[in-house]
A = this chain, B = another copy of it.
């Protein structure tokens, strides 16, 4: 079947579900999301071995990821019960003064497409954060199966769609399509109103271009690649070199380096003590099998490039067998990050590879941070007595990264209301949005304003008596 033949019935079902799903009370959608979470939790023991076989990820990690996934669904159920996510703004009218009464809120945008990532078969896939936030918003979802975990995708879709409809959602509220051509047809389908994507820069860019070149362009919310620089200030390097080295090696090699938040760049003072600790920690680290053969090939290619190979090797880790990817860390000096090969040195290498860059002074560091590519996260390790430098580095990091972490590591994105997962290009395609955290729901909502509309015809969120008891912004006079 051609892409459009695969996609057509699934999108048609989503389009049919769009109005009943949007028209449900937020509390009813919350109930359905909770039911989906419960069903996934109940099926975890069945799902995890399938995902483990497909992705080569360890079962312990995958069990945790199912919990993360259901945590996301429940978080958005909580956002719906709170109800203030509709972002109501009210400018009260005054007929005597000829002033119109205007009441604005967010409403669902319509059926959306979700493309999950290879590296999170649950939390950023069929029932991951994009799907949870879109369903919460009131938008049916057509998910594209990731070819790295097709069986897992099908099982999750069946479980979640079943639980949703049993909880009162219309059929078609979550659909699934598979295949590259189906993915392309999905982004171009007239009834699809927005796209969520997590994956590579190359894949995301290709779909972004399709979305932008439609007769009616639609928003494309892509989370692509990320370098995630980590800065160690001199005081921290002196104070706790072993702790920093261990934390770095653990974050770099977590999940065989296959996280979009992997610390790809470590900026350290030219401190032999710290460098020796980092080398030791990396040597003590182990690699492992990568998600797919293709990802393994891309990793070998990325670390085989001349621009990378030319950099001195600081240390390598070990691996259980020949099929495993081996952690490797190379070094550079800060001046190289402004040289001709800067772009090559600072691009994401998906897998357990890292670059450690030494800087002579904090001033040198400050000059180079603005030239780094946009990232999901930037981290800073500082001692208590170097807050002035910390403030200066933080001000620079803020301009290139969406999340700033003090004395911590970029991996391990907490699921909470305030989380920001996004940043300047190439980390995100839409710098005004996030794919994690409560405001991720905004991607699937459009504002509408009611002017001089009779109170009894207004949505409850906008009625004068505020029957939902939500937070609203009321224009002060």
Comparing A116-124, A141-149, A306-314, A420-428, the segment that makes contact with chain B is A420-428
A445 and B430 CA atoms in complex are apart in Å by: 11
Q: Complex Cα distance A258/B71, Å?
A: 52
B454 touches A387 (CB 8 A): yes
Of A48-56, A103-111, A331-339, the one with at least 4 CB within 8 A of chain B: A103-111
Interface positions, chain A 169-189, Cβ under 8 Å from B, are: none
B-side contacts of A443, CB under 8 Å: 432
- A404 contacts B475, C-beta separation under 8 Å: no
A471 to B474, CA, bound (A): 12
Quick check: is A403 within 8 A (CB to CB) of the other chain? yes
Q: Do A417 and B449 touch (CB < 8 A)?
A: no
The answer on a CB contact under 8 Å between B406 and A452 is yes
Whether A473 contacts B431 in the complex (CB less than 8 A), given A404-B449, A408-B452, A426-B216, comes out as no
Instruction: Indicate whether A451 reaches chain B with its CB closer than 8 angstroms.
Output: yes
| Most chain B beta carbons < 10 A, residue from A78, A91, A110 | A91
Find the B residue at minimum CB distance from A374. B216
How many identical subunits does the complex contain? Answer: 2
Given A387-B454, A431-B109, A439-B104, do A448 and B420 touch, yes or no (CB 8 Å)?
yes
**Which of A152-160, A236-244, A284-292, A390-398 faces chain B?**
A390-398
Is B450 in contact with A402, judged by CB distance below 8 angstroms? no
Question: Bound state CA distance, A391 and B208, in angstroms?
Answer: 37
Quote the shortest CB–CB distance from A254 to chain B (angstroms): 16
The answer on a CB contact under 8 Å between B219 and A430 is yes
Taking CB atoms and an 8 Å cut-off, the chain A residues in 38-93 that contact chain B are 78, 82, 84, 87, 89-91
- Interchain CA distance A217-B212 in the complex, whole Å: 10
Residues in chain B near residue A401, CB distance under 8 A: 448
Query: Whole-angstrom distance from the CB of A107 to the nearest CB of chain B?
Result: 7
Known contacts A217-B212, A390-B457, A408 near B89 by CB under 8 Å = no
B451 near A404 with CB under 8 A, answer: yes
In the complex, the answer to whether B447 meets A78 with C-beta atoms within 8 Å is no
A193 close to B (CB within 8 Å):
yes
Q: Is the CB of B403 within 8 A of A449?
A: yes
Closest to A205 in B: B217
Let me know if B87 and A391 touch, CB within 8 A.
no
B107 pairs with A451, CB closer than 8 A: no
Contact in complex: B416, A102 (CB < 8 Å): yes
Beyond A109-B431, A208-B217, A403-B450, 14 additional contacts (C-beta under 8 Å) are A91-B416, A104-B418, A104-B420, A208-B212, A212-B213, A219-B431, A394-B453, A403-B448, A406-B451, A418-B475, A420-B447, A423-B446, A432-B443, A438-B473
Q: Can you list 5 A-B pairs, Cβ within 8 angstroms, ordered by A? A: A91-B418, A102-B420, A104-B418, A404-B448, A406-B450
